[in-house]
Amino acid sequence: MSAEIIDGKAIAAKVRAEVARDVEAFTQRTGRRPGLATILVGDDPASAIYVGGKQKASREVGIEAYDHRPPADATSEEVEALIDQLNADENVSGILCQLPVPDHLDGVHLTGLIDPRKDVDGLTPISAGLLALGRPGLRPCTPAGVMVLLQEAGVDLQGKRAVVIGRSNLFGKPMAQLLLGANATVTIAHSRTRDLPAVCREADVLVAAVGRDRMVKADWVKPGATVIDVGINRAEDGLHGDVDFAAVKEVAGAITPVPGGVGPMTIAMLLRNTLTAAELTAAESEVGAA
């Protein structure tokens, strides 16, 4: 029997509609809109498309979008001053510094300067630390989106074996921690893992975030397992994931397609994080005013 296809596009649309409704309620209650400031240093065309998509999606749900584009030769001090200014700006609920930045800048250093309460990408050391400690905080968008997909697909993670292939700070590590927080038994695999297919076959939930076109084969997957494909690999015949979708869907119980699976969730979760950040700041000023 063929696997259930987890429709990320539809689930992302649902999240966006929920965020739009909640943004409206927030705006009614506080008299101001949540604001998302994006920083794009330089004019990399792919990054410009990503940032443009985030700006457009923000406006569609009623979030005010502020677009900052320092030139490619901006100094670190100039970008740092911009981040300081946005940290202090009450109209800005969330700040996102689009990576990668030009070579003469340090993206990790710059991201780390963002006020953790405005860290809508969830990538600052404080946000990463809060996640590691299991404390509330803003979570990285793509792994948070995977958790929503699993929930919407009705996957009960409690006590299940989860395997995450990939250990990046951007995705693999936070993904593993979110799964752990949901009481799964989690294995993180990477390029030095021995007998990766055997490790994957133990998974009730298999998450692939490697960046290798259709690496995960049908005989790596336990029959009935849920397979989440995070990979984005561009080939001449189009976009492919890290999972050999055509073959794996005949073995898995549920699977995300590429495109139309994890990808659409990232922006949806960025919007949700921006609203969460706005609510946090509003709650703080209400406490401050009391």
Active site residues: 54, 98, 121
Q: Select the residue interacting with ligand NAP from 163, 176, 228, 262 (CB under 6 A).
A: 262
Q: Which is nearer to ligand NAP, 27 or 193 (CB)?
A: 193
Residues in the chain: 290
Cβ burial, residue 126 (10 Å; 0-12/13-18/19+): middle
Binding segment (CB under 6 A) for ligand NAP, from list 52-60, 79-87, 118-126, 190-198: 190-198
Binds ligand NAP by CB under 6 A, chosen from 129, 190, 219, 250: 190
Cα 175–131–194 angle (5° rounding)? Answer: 40
Whether the CB-CB separation of 225 and 160 falls below 8 Å is answered with: no
Check binding of 111 to ligand NAP (CB under 6 A): no
Residue 167 is a binding residue for ligand NAP (CB under 6 A): yes
Strand order in the sheet with 94-97: 64-68, 35-39, 94-97
Cβ 267 to ligand NAP shortest distance, Å: 8
- The H or E element containing residue 127 is helix 125-133
Q: Does residue 162 interact with ligand NAP by CB under 6 A?
A: no
Q: Are 287 and 31 in contact (CB under 8 A)?
A: no
Q: Contact letters (x/-) for ligand NAP, 17-56, by CB under 6 A?
A: ----------------------------------------
82 membership: H or E segment, kind and range:
helix 76-88
Q: Is 171 in the site for ligand NAP (CB under 6 A)?
A: yes
Of 215-254, binders to ligand NAP (CB under 6 A) are 230-233
- Stretch binding ligand NAP (CB under 6 A), from 84-92, 198-206, 260-268, 274-282: 260-268
Per-residue contact string for residues 129-158; x = within reach of ligand NAP by CB under 6 A: -------------x----------------
> What amino acid is encoded at 98 in this protein?
Q
* Chosen residue from 214, 263, 269, 275 binding ligand NAP by CB under 6 A: 263
Nearer to ligand NAP, 26 or 220 (CB): 220
**Letter for the amino acid at 182?**
A
Say whether residue 168 binds ligand NAP (CB under 6 A): yes
Closest residue by beta carbon to ligand NAP: 168
Give the count of beta carbons closer than 10 Å to the beta carbon of residue 149.
Answer: 22
Other CB atoms within 10 Å distance of the CB of residue 275: 24
Q: Mind giving me the DSSP string for 216-271?
A: B-GGGS-TT-EEEE---EEETTEEE-SB-HHHHTTT-SEE--SSSSSHHHHHHHHH
- Shortest separation between residue 261's beta carbon and ligand NAP, angstroms: 8
Smallest distance from ligand NAP to CB 208, Å: 8
Q: Which is nearer to ligand NAP, 168 or 285 (CB)?
A: 168
Before 70, cis peptide (omega within 30)?
no
Q: Provide the binding-site residues for ligand NAP, judged by CB under 6 A.
A: 142, 165-168, 170-172, 189-193, 196, 209-212, 230-233, 262-263, 266
